[in-house]
Amino acid sequence: MANGVDEDIGGFHFGPFRLAVNERLLTRDGMPVELGGRALDILIALVTAPNEIISKKDLMAQVWPDALVEEGSLRFHMTGLRKALGDGQGGARYIATVAGRGYCFVAPVAHAPVKRTDQPAATSHFPHANLPPRLGRMIGRDVDVMKLAAQLTDSRFVTIVGPGGVGKTTVAVAAAHQVADHFAGHVLFVDFSVIAEPDLAATSIASMLGLPVQAEDPTPDIVRFLSGKHFLLVLDTCEHLIEAIAAMVATILEAAPDVHVLATSREALRIEGERIYRLDALGYPPPDASGLSVSSIEQFPATQLFIERAMANGARLDVSDAEAAIVGAICRKLDGVALAIELAARRVEAYGLEQTAALLDQRLTLLWHGLRTAPPRQQTLQATLDWSYSLLSDLERTVLRRLAVFVGHFTLDAALEVVTNETLDRAAVFEAIDSLVEKSMVAARPLGAMMRYRLLDTTRAYALELCTDKAEWTELSSRHASYYRRWLEQNGSEWSSLSTGMERAPHFAALNNVRAALDWCFSERGDTQVGIGLAAAAAPVSRAMGLLTECHRWTERALQALNETTRGSSEEMQLQASLGVSMMFTRGHHEATVAALNRSFEIAEMRGDYLNAVRLIGPIYFYHLRSGEQRQCLLYAKRCADIAATLGDPSASALAHTLMGVSLCIMGELAGARTELETVLEPDNPPASRQIHYGFDHYSWAGIGWVTALWLQGHTDQMREAIAEAIREAEAMRHPVAFAIVINAVAALLWVGDLDLAEAHLNWFIARAETHATGPYLHMGNAFKAELSIRRGDIENGVVTLQRHLEKLHATRFELFTIRFHIVVATGLAATGRFAEAWTLAEEAAVQIEEKGYTSYLSELLRLRGAILRAAPELSNRSAEDYFTQSLDLSRVQGAKAWEIRAATDLSLLWAAQNRAADAEALLRPIFERLTEGRDTPDLRAAASVLAKLR
C-alpha cells in the first residue's frame, strides 16, 4: 500500500476500450459506454479469459447464477454487447462465435491496474460521508450523468426536476459519485422523503454533519461548518419541503461560496443561481414505429430496462421480433417511466409478456409492488402518485382531475375551454396548469409551433380514479366533445394538404382526443346528439388520413343515432358520404355502399347545396368506375359538367373536366380525353381547384387518366416521367387515392415491360393494402402479381392464381380491371395451348365491353382473338386476318398507337407466312418509325425483330 492506495487487478485495455471490473464501467476513449448489466457481465466473463472458448452453458451460469434462462436471453444481450463494441465495424473483431461450442474473446487484451480505495483518501477528514453506492446497472442515463457532472463543477446549484419514478435519485447519486473526487470526498447525501415537518429540514442536515442542534433553526451552524470547505450537498426529494429547503439553500450558497448543491425535486426551488436539469423519461419506440425487431428495441433504454428487469426477476424470455413489438408497446404505455417499467417487468415471470401487456391495456395497475427495500413512496405507482398529489393545493387537485378528460397531448386553449366553468375561471386554470407543469404533474413540450401539454398515462389513470362526481364528469366530457367538434370544423380543411410527419403530428395528437370524445358520446352515459355532430366533423379527417375502418365505425354508429331533427341535415349528408366511401374502400361494392352515397347526394340537392352535390358526384362516379359501369360513369360526368357550369367554382369545373377526361380515355376517345385532362393539369390552376372532397381527389385522377392516355398514344418516355412524379406524390400521401395512383402506374408499367419497377411498386401497394385493411385492393394487388408471373414466364401458375383472385374481385364487385385481366388470362391460356378456353374467355370479354363500354381495350381484344385463330383457325368462321385488320383500323380511329403497333406486328407476321413480305414491311415500318419513344419495350423490340426478318 502506497499513500493509502491498494493496487487492484480489475482493469483491462482492448482496442479503444478500458474495462474497470470493480467499478463495473466500460469506457471508450475515456467516455462511458452505455451497456446493460447482463451485457457487462458477459463482457467481464469473456475478457477475463481471453482466447478461451466459453460454452453458452457456462456463460449463462456465470451471468445468471440464480436463474434458469433461455438461450435466447444470452443471444439478446450478446447482440447488444457486440453493437456497443462496434464488433465487425471497420474490421474490428472482439467476440467470435465458435459454432457448436460457445464464444471467445479474440481481441488483444492488456492488463491495466486500477488505483482505487474503498473510500477516497480525503474522506478520512470527513467521517460523515454517506453517499449511497452507485447503482451497478443503470440503463440509458450515462449522458445525463456526464452532463450533470459537468454542470455541478461549473455551477453551484443544480436541481434535477422530473415526475415521480423517472429516476431522479438514481441519476443524482451517480452524478455525485462522478464528481466526488473533485470535492475530495466531501459529499453529504440527505434524503428528505422521511422528513415530514419543514422545521426539520435544516435539523436533518445538522445532525448528519454531527453538529449539536441547540436552536430552532440550525442553519447558521450549518453555514459556519461549511464555510471555507469545498463541499457537495445532495438534497434528495425536496418537493414537499420546498419553501423551507429553498430558504436554507439560498442562505448556504450566499454564505459558503465553495459549497455546491445538487437537489432532486418534482418542481424547481426557484432561487437565485439555480440551474434546472429536467430529467426526461427513458426513450421508447414511437407510436408509428413499424417492424420492431429484437435488434431495434436495443436502441431504446426503456425496452432495454424492461427486458433486463424481467429476466432478473426470473422471467424466461426468448425475445422474438413479435415479442419485441409487445415490449415496445408496454414501455410506450408506461411513458418510459423507470419505476413503472420496473414494476411491470416484475409481473412477467408470473403473467407472461402478453398477459402483462393485456393487464396494462385494461387498466394501469397502480398497486403492483416493487422492491421491499424501496422507499415507501416508490413501492407502488399508487404510493408515488399519492405522494405527489398530497403536495398539491385544492385548486391544483381540481384542475388535475379535470385535465384527465384529455387523452395524450392537448393545447392550453383546449384546457381553458374545457376545464373552466362557472366556479373556475380561466385565470385560475391558467395559474394551476402553470404550477402543475412546474411540479412535474403535467408534461409540457413543443409540438409544431405550439406548446402541448399532457398527463402521463400513469398520472391520468390515477386522476381518473379520483373523478367520482358523475354529474361533473358528464359536463366535462360534453364540453370536451364540443370543443373538438369546433376544432375539427375550423381545421378540417387543412388535413388533406398535410404531407410531412412534422405537419401531421399536432393534428394526430388532437385526433386521440377526438376518439376519446366519440367513445364517451356513444357510451351509455354519453350524449349521442353531440356525438352525431362530432362524428360528422371527424369523418373528412378520417378520410383524408386514410383511417377508413375508423371512419366506417363512427359514421355507422352516428347514423344509427339519427332522430327526426337530425335526418336530412348537413351532418347526415356528411355521414352518409363518409360511410359510402369507407365501405367502398374496405368492403367493396355493395348495395349499402351506393345507397349511402346516393342518399348523401339526395340530401345535398334537397338542401340546395349544389356545390356539395357536384363534389359528391366524384365518389359516386368512382363507385361506378370500380364496378366497371363505364356508360354509367359517362352519364355522371355529363351531369357533373351541367351542375358545374352553373356554379362558377374552380374545383367544381376541374372535377367535371376530370370525370369527362377519364371517361373518354376509357372509351377510347384519346384526343378528347387529353383536351379535358390538360385543362385540369395546367400548372397555373389555382390551389382551390386541387382540393380533395369526399375521398375523391380529382387532380390525382386526372393524372391517372393522363398516364393512360400517354401510354395508349405511344408516348412511353413521357408516360414513365409522369408515373415517376405520380408515385412520388402517392408515397407521401396517407389518402386512399394513393392506391389508385400506384395500381394504375403498375398497370401501365406491365404493358410496357418494366417488370422490376412494377414489382417494386406492387409490393408497396400490397403492404399498404394489408396495413389499411382495404380488402378489395389487396385482391387486386395479388391479381396484378399473378399477371407479373405470367409475363415473366410462369404462365400456368400465374393463370390459376389470377383466376382465383378474379373470383374474389367479382365477389366484391370490383370490376375496373376485369377486361384487362380476362385478356391476360386468355393470352396465358393460348400460350399453353388451351386455345378453346382462351377463345371462350375472349368472347366473354367482348360481350362485357359491349355492355359496359370499356372500348379502349377493344382493339387489343380483337388482336388477341386474331392471334388465337392464327393458331387454332377451327374455332371460328372468321379469319385471323379479319380480326387483325379490324384491330388495326380501330386503333387508328382511337389514336391508340400502343395497340396499333401490336396489331401491325401480328398482321405482318401473318402476311410474311403467306409470302407477302413486301406488304408486311410496307405496313409495319411506317408505324414503327413514327414511334420514337419506348424503343426498349417488348412491343417495339418485337416489331424491330419482325422488320429485320422481313428484310
Q: What is the tens place of the pLDDT at every residue in 863-918? A: 999 999 999 999 988 999 999 999 999 999 999 999 999 999 999 999 999 999 99
Instruction: Name the residue among 738, 842, 751, 840 with its Cα closest to residue 790.
Output: 751
**pLDDT attached to residue 687:** 54
Mean pLDDT, the chain, integer = 83
Cell numbers standing for residue 146: 456526464
**pLDDT attached to residue 1:** 34
pLDDT at 692 over 80: no
- Worst-scoring range by mean pLDDT, 79-93, 595-609, 710-724, 747-761? 79-93
pLDDT at 819 over 50: yes
Instruction: Name the residue among 265, 279, 319 with its Cα closest to residue 296.
Output: 319
Spell 309-329 as b/e; 16+ CB within 10 A means b. bbbbeebebebeeebbbbbbb
**pLDDT attached to residue 672:** 93
426 vs 443: CA distance, rounded Å: 20
**pLDDT attached to residue 121:** 36
**pLDDT attached to residue 85:** 87
Give the DSSP H/E element, type plus range, for residue 163. Answer: none
With contact defined as beta carbons under 8 Å apart, do 345 and 366 qualify? no
Query: In the β-sheet with 102-105, what is the strand arrangement from edge to edge?
Result: 53-54, 102-105, 95-98
571 vs 549: CA distance, rounded Å: 19
Cell numbers standing for residue 530: 353531440
**pLDDT attached to residue 494:** 56
Pick the more confident residue, 458 or 187.
187
657-685 pLDDT, tens per residue?
999 999 999 999 999 999 999 888 887 76
Instruction: Name the residue among 630, 697, 695, 635 with its Cα closest to residue 667.
Output: 630
pLDDT grade, residue 63 (50/70/90)?
A: confident
832 vs 153: CA distance, rounded Å: 82
Instruction: Name the residue among 468, 892, 508 with its Cα closest to residue 714.
Output: 892
pLDDT grade, residue 289 (50/70/90)?
A: low
Cell numbers standing for residue 551: 371512419
**pLDDT attached to residue 507:** 64
pLDDT grade, residue 116 (50/70/90)?
A: very low
Instruction: Name the residue among 641, 640, 533, 626 with its Cα closest to residue 584.
Output: 626
pLDDT at 231 over 50: yes
